[in-house]
Copies of this chain bind each other. A is one copy, B any other.
Amino acid sequence: TYDHSYSLSSRTTSEELLRKLNEQRDIIALMEVKMKEMKATVRQLRITEAKLREEIREKDRLLSMGVIRKKYGM
């Protein structure tokens, strides 16, 4: 009975470990999806940032032209 009991306990433990293992695998899969989404978001935000900085450079150029025009009465 000891062997049987140990064997059963052992099996139960293995089943619990397997269940836990599968739970963790699901968590990892979900986190991978989430990380992929976040990477896409970061990439998109960096593209937006570069575009906005370029837009600011262009407006600064226009503004400085206005200042020059005014200074020299053009």
Which A residues lie at the B interface, using CB under 8 A? 3, 6-7, 10-11, 13-14, 17-18, 20-21, 24-25, 27-28, 31-32, 34-35, 38-39, 41-42, 45-46, 48-49, 52-53, 55-56, 59-60, 62-63, 66
A41 CA / B39 CA spacing, docked (Å): 10
Complex Cα spacing A13 to B55, Å: 61
Find chain B residues with CB under 8 A from A63 CB: 59, 62-63, 66
Q: Can you tell how many copies of this chain the complex includes?
A: 2
Q: Are A17 and B28 in contact, CB atoms less than 8 angstroms apart?
A: no
Instruction: A38 to B44: give the CA distance in the assembly, Å.
Output: 13
What's the least CB distance linking A52 to chain B, in Å?
4
